[in-house]
Structure 1
């Protein structure tokens, strides 16, 4: 068959991409509502901070989400795919000051620029749902939620030691202190006493922990990180009285069976009783100086880092209520106020940290749990024993099994009034107060007569004040015009709260607001939120495993309890994509290894950049930057463009597939259906788009080799047509502009985006029968026609039962069988 063709055309990506973006916007084809009869699907990438320009990490993240959104539309779903901006925070404030600008001007200017960049990538967002968290129409509802949480007892204010960043002039949550430094500016963080507002996330600790079991679509790594961060422990709370004092020090232990082995008490340097404990003693100054030094050290180290054990004797003793033994009290650098009670009963024989400390300071080591077939001798012990066993030297509990003894010892403490069972968590309440300008004002008023009062709801939002001359970005506590107000309760003069909210507040519920971004009667339209939520597929970096993802889970449960939602968890499935790496490290301006996606789009087009970012690595793995990879993606699209342009004449004719195609036609038809199967299963199973793209490239290679660029071809036109249209639909989620243009050039009706996802024919995808050689002692004795998917076991069974092979095997025992895949079976006798 002679193929008609035209001269190759140039793939003008700029014209093509501009054309289709305009068409998509004019036709509003990505707008969705809740009235569809289709099954809903909500796909969401973590929204960006408007820094000014998108980077390759953005391109990769949003391309992954866009492929999923487009794929699900082709599969017949009603897809919600929104975009917005996490727009408050210190970086905007600092950048605005540096550029002699206002944070609002700087932020909205960046949003405008980045929005154009995202549109240039052809991302299928429903832009009518766009939100910016710095918009008063967003944070007014956040303020209302704060007030409702306050009235429900989920919000409270207290004096506390906080993490203070001098550079950023603000408080940081524990999770925002990374190895002792501010997560934003990387400067050292110091402790400070301050009043602040807190969310009672600890009230939800048990539910947050238990519901991790519901998150079957989350990576196990993230589940483990959250489980460890919540840190549930069960055990004994017990009060140790301080010798010669009315003070008592409560401890918590998960090993009550070792309580008779306590030889000293270790307390955290920030323990609230420490000052009173050492007051007036000869060691007061020395202990206080040591505690101050350790607190600063702890702020500057990673919370997971195990420091060299250091401590100081306070000069005081406490009494073990179980045996009335007198034990010394030490301040120790490895005791954290965040765990338990901030005081630890030290059992060096059965705890490794206590053992190291005791050896260093020559403290007694007293074994009280003897493992089976072992005698623990303090003089010869080289490490602590944490094995279960039998209790020794433990009063009336001596001889008991250590595991069974735990419940008995807890019951004894409860019966005698100095302790009892207890559950504790590592998780601490979320401090949300920030002392800067560019954030949502906390809607509270301080009145000398009425105390702390919420702003009247009808007065919301409490707006950020306009800057007067000379006060750009000044913190709210420096703005008298903002501070002065009247009490909503009594009308007397009062002062506004000057703290703003942690920006993690905005990102903890934005995904719900996307379901009804223009709703003006409440934070959420429950009907629309119920339709869309939970998010079916959430996509973002693993660095958000604890902060954002834990807070979002907490906030979802709060919104449920406030009556706005009817779900328990916000995200059904979570994909944590890898980073973009260049020269061995993550792309960043500080490392000077940034590749600007704007330049790449200008040089190669958006579809090529998308294709490279999807093809270079599976989404959960880091992507190593490779300039040759971009060139390769560009060459592939150009090859497809030239092929379709060259064969346009035959493609515009709508030939049917012949009932009995020739060998070449049958081979192409088989490869087409195998590709549909492979691409579909790959996307459904694990979103490994690199594997899917590879399969499509293989299909095109077969197509172009069998059909050729010109001349004779034995492939029937209908099969060529089916192969090309299938390839375009499969490729369309990855390279939407390109496939839309190719669909039109190939003379297909409608739009490629309106097509159903191809369904493969099992019989058409099946390989031809294979001819397998059967050998006996290395000599060919027979041949078998078998299915290409046959297992080795089944193949051996067929070979052994083959009539011709049996003649040479006779009654001799078979020593072994050797299978060479898709080629032969050798029977060794």
Structure 2
């Protein structure tokens, strides 16, 4: 870290504390972190991007609130604490070696509160090191008693609105914690979804053998069962019925509202070649298959080779060895693009060799999707569309043929942070948020239309999430958190207590100083909803009115920043809760959704050690380098890739910026090219401002840094003699520093002081373009000149002779006329024929036709803004090159000839086009 970064970090301790004022407010917030481990650069991007936006709007004259808190409720820190207390080597190594927790501190991590205290302090320290312009007075953790009172108030209202219900639902459950768990509680399987299977029951002697399927309508086509001969299965009594299940399945069924008693064991091999029966497919054999996973569903699989590629190829493999050759696929479904047996067609067409082929998963999904969306059952099986038959058949099996529902995850391994395996459990007395309520869903859909979503394309994902969200288990038995106000045996779970804390932020610094017992529901009703009176409450009237006033000044929030993987839970949950609690005028205004982080092309993962700690990055290359790379390497909603080589390059870019400004401090002298540099700066200010208004931080940096640096390179080329700097560079430095201040605040502050700027650059005004300083003709002339110099340079590198002279042939006026007509045309293909109807063009014949085609190609290659400027701004190309004669001759060491193309018989002259003179080097 640079010394001046440390100096300014300390000086900025309190300057970003925001209180209500006369200016318009801008309230930006970000998903608060769960401080259970060290911050890595992925976390850094999460908090630096909104900081850049906060700093930008502060410079635009807004009164900006950017708060921070720490989410510590739930079981993650408890799980970590238990693993450390139990001497789990992997966990201890992670915290000692990767997170570098001192030994004396690590010893205290057997207490989860110590983990919270240590890492929340570490997070704040590192965020300060990164220059985040946070109002730290508002810091709290979600176990503060004042925050718990706020959560109690929220849930009392949700209960009153019938948004919280008690019932039996499948939930993710950790037996080791004896608790429902959410995504934040998981070490593995964070994205696991609960899938509903139907158990098709096959009879074998006195036992039932259940097979789980998502496609019950295919039971007609079962030709056999698959069983793993190497697994020892369990004979169990399930609700009084004898079943055979894998050991893992017996445990899962026992968690899903069934009474399970163990009756002994049976080897899978003992069932091979036995015959089982089902009324829809008759008697079928049990065949051996080592690919059957005892951890998936019941550990026994029904085989439908006509419609399941895995079943078809497994059967084919057996039959190729001369076994079970009498078994034939039974076609059930007709679907366009496939023959009688879709699974066989798909496998044979794809050239799949065996069941271990990696293409099998994709192939299976293709067949299943095709059959579900466009398939129809054959007439003898009802003739209905598959999607209709599936629902009807499920009901028949469940109601009339002893089938049951079994819930399972769509991924193999789901693990709690405590180290235990997570299962699906049916909880009967659990409290649920009723996200399935169609009235609530519709209200949220309507509200979503009013919210500014960035990027716009993720709006559809929000709508999809609102549609498929089902009831959510919002309580658990153990962990840190707030007790449910009407049922103290339950705690509100982490994703359910973090939905409207953005409202708490607005007055957090005042609430955490008050006695929690005085924060009654009536107090919050008045503060947040304006209900009741400010008199007769546990707090004095002046305090309550002050809290109400400050809340209304800041709320609603203007933009919330969070990762795209939270659309499926937190980001959508908070929309539901806002809609249930707050009036229309206090609903969220905008959200910006982040992409994910990569490290050298691979997904970042703390648990796997594939991370760069944020503190290490800041120490190695400086906070400004980290900031500039994280906001400039990709737009916020795009995935970014932390690559050491590119990060080092960013550090050099900042150094060049500092050198450019410092070198210009004593520069003087005025030159003709100065006007161009100053004009260009106005353009960059406009473009950077437009990009920032759209949250395009990468594009804004392209304008605010790279485009200006590129201009300076050209500018120095155009200065006379050995002159390297001039007063013009000093003139633009003021604006340049302010443009980059949100991105690299430490370096900007250093330079701001060096050029004599007053106070903090963070509170200076964002640059405004001065239209009177923009010279379109001059900019176009220099663009023409730079492009021509680049073309000459390219040709010089290719020629094999020692050149003696350089000629530029200038395009005639009639080609400019063609250029203008083509550039302005909506249909550039048809416009050529229109042009050729002109009498003058007809006389030119093939020359005009060829020119029109060449100009069309040129227009496609040029940037749209350059094309527009060529068509709207008039310059004399011959005069442009004549005035730059000395520069061009010096640049290439050749005498220059400038010749109007129509005055020459040289063959090359005919190729001269607008903005692209023909070049001859002899």
Q: TM-score, normalised by structure 1?
A: 0.61
Q: How many Å separate the matches in 2 of 1:161 and 1:408?
A: 24
Report how far residue 729 of structure 1 moved.
Answer: 1.7
Q: How many Å separate the matches in 2 of 1:87 and 1:405?
A: 44
Q: Specify the alignment match of 1:442 in structure 2.
A: 483
Select which of 525, 528, 531 maps to 2:528.
525
Q: Specify the alignment match of 2:561 in structure 1.
A: 539
- CA RMSD, aligned part only? 6.3
Q: Specify the alignment match of 2:769 in structure 1.
A: 759
Q: Specify the alignment match of 1:492 in structure 2.
A: none
Q: How many Å separate the matches in 2 of 1:435 and 1:569?
A: 32
**Structure 1 pair 379/617, CA: closer, same or farther in 2 (3 Å)?**
closer
**Structure 1 pair 110/344, CA: closer, same or farther in 2 (3 Å)?**
closer
Report how far residue 46 of structure 1 moved.
Answer: 2.2
Select which of 488, 492, 497 maps to 1:506.
497
Report how far residue 115 of structure 1 moved.
Answer: 1.6
Q: What stretches of structure 1 of length at least 5 have no aligned partner?
A: 1-11, 177-181, 190-224, 268-273, 299-310, 445-452, 456-496, 656-660
Q: How many Å separate the matches in 2 of 1:88 and 1:787?
A: 70
The DSSP-based 3-state class of the residue aligned with 2:853 is strand
**Cα deviation per residue 1:10-69 (whole Å; 9 max; x = unaligned)?**
xx95346524752x445x444143x6552x543223222224643322322222111111
1:454 counterpart = 2:487: yes
The DSSP-based 3-state class of the residue aligned with 1:44 is strand
Matches within 5 A, 1:621-770: 621-648=638-665, 663-685=672-694, 687-689=696-698, 692-693=701-702, 695-700=704-709, 702-703=711-712, 706=715, 717=727, 719-720=728-729, 722-749=731-758, 751-752=760-761, 753-759=763-769, 761=771, 764=774, 766=776, 767-769=779-781, 770=784
The DSSP-based 3-state class of the residue aligned with 1:131 is coil
- Which stretch shows the higher mean deviation, 680-689 or 132-141? 680-689
Q: How many Å separate the matches in 2 of 1:573 and 1:624?
A: 23
The DSSP-based 3-state class of the residue aligned with 1:124 is coil
**Cα deviation per residue 1:187-246 (whole Å; 9 max; x = unaligned)?**
x99xxxxxxxxxxxxxxxxxxxxxxxxxxxxxxxxxxx9xx969999xxx999999999x
Q: Specify the alignment match of 1:560 in structure 2.
A: 579
Q: How many Å separate the matches in 1 of 2:153 and 2:285?
A: 48
Q: Specify the alignment match of 1:586 in structure 2.
A: 604
Q: How many Å separate the matches in 2 of 1:703 and 1:810?
A: 43
**Structure 1 pair 791/501, CA: closer, same or farther in 2 (3 Å)?**
farther
**Cα deviation per residue 1:443-463 (whole Å; 9 max; x = unaligned)?**
47xxxxxxxx635xxxxxxxx
CA contact (8 A) 1:552 1:570 kept: no
Q: Specify the alignment match of 1:18 in structure 2.
A: 7
Matches within 5 A, 1:287-366: 287=245, 291-292=249-250
**Cα deviation per residue 1:518-542 (whole Å; 9 max; x = unaligned)?**
4542287247767656654433444
Report how far residue 722 of structure 1 moved.
Answer: 4.5
Q: Specify the alignment match of 2:629 in structure 1.
A: 612
The DSSP-based 3-state class of the residue aligned with 2:593 is strand
Report how far residue 502 of structure 1 moved.
Answer: 3.1
Q: Specify the alignment match of 2:796 in structure 1.
A: none
Select which of 793, 801, 817 maps to 2:853.
817
Q: How many Å separate the matches in 2 of 1:751 and 1:373?
A: 68
The DSSP-based 3-state class of the residue aligned with 1:31 is coil
Q: How many Å separate the matches in 1 of 2:628 and 2:716?
A: 25
1:55 counterpart = 2:40: yes
1:43 counterpart = 2:28: yes
The DSSP-based 3-state class of the residue aligned with 2:18 is coil
The number of residues matched between the two structures is 662
CA contact (8 A) 1:664 1:715 kept: no
**Structure 1 pair 751/535, CA: closer, same or farther in 2 (3 Å)?**
same
CA contact (8 A) 1:260 1:393 kept: no
Higher helix share: 2
1:783 counterpart = 2:788: no
CA contact (8 A) 1:85 1:133 kept: yes
CA contact (8 A) 1:706 1:713 kept: no
**Structure 1 pair 71/240, CA: closer, same or farther in 2 (3 Å)?**
same
Report how far residue 641 of structure 1 moved.
Answer: 3.6
The DSSP-based 3-state class of the residue aligned with 2:174 is strand
Q: Specify the alignment match of 1:100 in structure 2.
A: 108
CA contact (8 A) 2:27 2:66 kept: yes
The DSSP-based 3-state class of the residue aligned with 1:738 is helix
Q: How many Å separate the matches in 2 of 1:335 and 1:533?
A: 53
1:130 counterpart = 2:101: no
Report how far residue 576 of structure 1 moved.
Answer: 1.5
Select which of 595, 610, 615 maps to 1:598.
615
Report how far residue 128 of structure 1 moved.
Answer: 2.6
The DSSP-based 3-state class of the residue aligned with 2:686 is helix
Q: How many Å separate the matches in 2 of 1:725 and 1:71?
A: 16
CA contact (8 A) 1:263 1:347 kept: yes
Report how far residue 112 of structure 1 moved.
Answer: 2.8
The DSSP-based 3-state class of the residue aligned with 1:817 is helix
**Structure 1 pair 373/571, CA: closer, same or farther in 2 (3 Å)?**
closer
- Which stretch shows the higher mean deviation, 354-363 or 634-643? 354-363
Report how far residue 254 of structure 1 moved.
Answer: 9.1
The DSSP-based 3-state class of the residue aligned with 1:574 is strand
1:164 counterpart = 2:181: no
Q: How many Å separate the matches in 1 of 2:665 and 2:751?
A: 10
CA contact (8 A) 1:261 1:367 kept: no
Matches within 5 A, 1:134-283: 134-146=143-155, 149=158, 152=162, 154-156=164-166, 163-164=173-174, 166=176, 169-173=177-181, 175=183, 183-184=186-187, 279=240
Report how far residue 329 of structure 1 moved.
Answer: 13
Matches within 5 A, 1:396-475: 402-403=384-385, 406=388, 429-432=471-474, 434=476, 436=478, 438-440=479-481, 442-443=483-484, 454=487
- Which stretch shows the higher mean deviation, 65-74 or 694-703? 694-703
Q: How many Å separate the matches in 2 of 1:707 and 1:377?
A: 72
Report how far residue 664 of structure 1 moved.
Answer: 0.8
The DSSP-based 3-state class of the residue aligned with 1:538 is strand
Q: How many Å separate the matches in 2 of 1:634 and 1:786?
A: 45
Q: TM-score, normalised by structure 2?
A: 0.55
Report how far residue 72 of structure 1 moved.
Answer: 2.4
Select which of 18, 31, 55 maps to 1:31.
18
Q: What stretches of structure 2 of length at least 5 have no aligned partner?
A: 86-105, 227-234, 257-270, 319-323, 348-366, 402-435, 439-466, 512-518, 531-549, 789-806, 863-876, 878-908, 914-922
Report how far residue 755 of structure 1 moved.
Answer: 0.7
**Structure 1 pair 143/672, CA: closer, same or farther in 2 (3 Å)?**
same
**Cα deviation per residue 1:262-320 (whole Å; 9 max; x = unaligned)?**
769999xxxxxx97779465xx4x44758438879x9xxxxxxxxxxxx9999997767
**Structure 1 pair 132/356, CA: closer, same or farther in 2 (3 Å)?**
same
Q: How many Å separate the matches in 2 of 1:522 and 1:164?
A: 35
CA contact (8 A) 2:56 2:766 kept: no
Q: How many Å separate the matches in 2 of 1:51 and 1:260?
A: 48
Q: How many Å separate the matches in 1 of 2:680 and 2:183?
A: 52
CA contact (8 A) 1:56 1:580 kept: no
**Structure 1 pair 161/289, CA: closer, same or farther in 2 (3 Å)?**
farther
Q: How many Å separate the matches in 2 of 1:587 and 1:537?
A: 28
Report how far residue 439 of structure 1 moved.
Answer: 0.5
**Cα deviation per residue 1:315-349 (whole Å; 9 max; x = unaligned)?**
997767xxxx979999999999999xx99999876
Q: How many Å separate the matches in 2 of 1:763 and 1:806?
A: 43
